[in-house]
């Protein structure tokens, strides 16, 4: 990552041709701290990040390292590297394992999650929303309110929760170039999830009633 750090320090002074040679060097030297190769998606993301930085108001470059012809050699070199990484079996993203049900149960047994206090309700509410609706870390969480979710019943009379409307997110800001987000996450009430579902529902009920520890007129699920 040394080459990448040097690149960002000097980026403002680079001319287009110099930038092409330097990005080529950066692509080839990209490795994790332990020497392992980054995944394909990480390489593509880093290239996109460099391009955003160069074309930002701070740097003010008018060329694109992704599409401009002068960067063809650098991009072909990156393409060759990614093919080699795939041959070695390092192209896939290494995801963390999912949280086991036993650990979730411990949170309830210890009182961290539950419905007997405003804080435990807040915790389980936050956890369920992140777990079942894939909240991209903390993106837009401050804007969520009790009106952001709808409780419904399907044709088999099973209750479930879904988002009330599509949000503007980092990957889906809207506009002509935006690709539609086909994801439609739902949280169903099943035998295993009844406790989780009920706690989520009771937390929204708690907010609606406006009990203690919540400011009068507060709408947000996650207050500051």
Query: Computed over its alpha carbons, how large is the radius of gyration of the chain?
Result: 24
Number of domains in the chain: 2
The reply to whether the predicted model has a pTM over 0.75 is no
187: enclosing H helix or E strand: strand 186-188
In a domain, 218, yes or no: no
Does 223 map to a domain? no
Q: Tell me the residue range of the domain where 163 lies.
A: 101-171+183-210
Say how far apart CA 149 and CA 204 lie, in whole Å.
9
Rounded mean pLDDT, 168-191: 57
Residues 128, 199: one domain? yes
3-state secondary structure of 160: strand
Report the candidate in 185, 67, 65, 89 with the shortest Cα–Cα distance to residue 131.
185
Query: Is there a domain that residue 5 lies in?
Result: yes
Whether 95 is covered by a domain: the verdict is no
Cα-Cα-Cα-Cα torsion 192, 196, 202, 205, nearest 10 degrees, comes to: -110
d(CA 189, CA 153): 10
Residue 51 lies in a domain: yes
- C-alpha–C-alpha distance, residues 148 and 159, integer Å: 17
Q: C-alpha angle 118/120/126, rounded to 5°?
A: 100
Residues 20 and 59 occupy one common structural domain: yes
Tell me, yes or no, whether 82 and 115 share the same domain. Answer: no
Phi/psi of residue 222, each to 5°? -110, 85
Ramachandran bin of 217, using left for φ above 0, alpha for ψ from -120 to 50, beta for the remaining angles: left
Return the exposure string of 152-165: e unless at least 16 CB atoms fall within 10 Å of the residue's CB, then b: eeeeeeebbbebee
151 and 76 in one domain? Answer: no
30, 77: one domain: yes
Residues 9 and 79 in one domain: yes
Report if residue 93 sits inside a domain. no
**216 falls within a domain:** no
pLDDT tens sequence across 186-202: 777 765 555 555 655 66
Domain annotation covers residue 162: yes
Are residue 119 and residue 199 in the same domain, yes or no?
yes
Report pLDDT digits (tens) over 16-25.
777 888 888 8
Q: Give yes or no: residues 49 and 127 share one domain.
A: no
Q: Are residues 155 and 64 in the same domain?
A: no
For residue range 14-64, list pLDDT tens digits in order: 777 778 888 888 888 888 888 888 888 888 999 999 899 888 888 888 889
Sort 180 into a burial class: Cβ within 10 Å, 0-12 / 13-18 / 19+.
exposed
């Amino acid at each position: 990552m040394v080459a990448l750090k040097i690149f960002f320090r000097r980026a403002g002074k680079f001319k287009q041709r110099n930038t092409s040679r330097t990005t080529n060097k950066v692509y080839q030297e990209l490795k994790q701290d332990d020497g392992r190769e980054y995944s394909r998606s990480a390489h593509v993301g880093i290239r996109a990040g460099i391009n955003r930085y160069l074309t930002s108001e701070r740097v003010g470059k008018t060329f694109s390292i992704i599409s401009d012809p002068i960067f063809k050699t650098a991009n072909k070199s990156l393409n060759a590297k990614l093919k080699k990484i795939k041959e070695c079996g390092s192209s896939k993203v290494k995801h963390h394992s999912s949280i086991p049900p036993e650990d979730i149960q411990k949170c309830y047994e210890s009182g961290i999650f539950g419905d007997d206090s405003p804080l435990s309700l807040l915790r389980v509410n936050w956890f369920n929303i992140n777990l079942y609706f894939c909240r991209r870390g903390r993106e837009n969480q401050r804007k969520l309110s009790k009106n952001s979710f709808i409780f419904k019943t399907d044709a088999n009379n099973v209750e479930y929760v879904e988002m009330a409307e599509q949000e503007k997110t980092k990957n889906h800001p809207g506009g002509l170039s935006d690709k539609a987000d086909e994801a439609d996450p739902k949280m169903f009430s099943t035998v295993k999830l009844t406790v989780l579902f009920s706690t989520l529902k009771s937390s929204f009920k708690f907010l609606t009633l406006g009990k203690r520890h919540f400011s009068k007129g507060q709408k947000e699920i996650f207050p500051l």
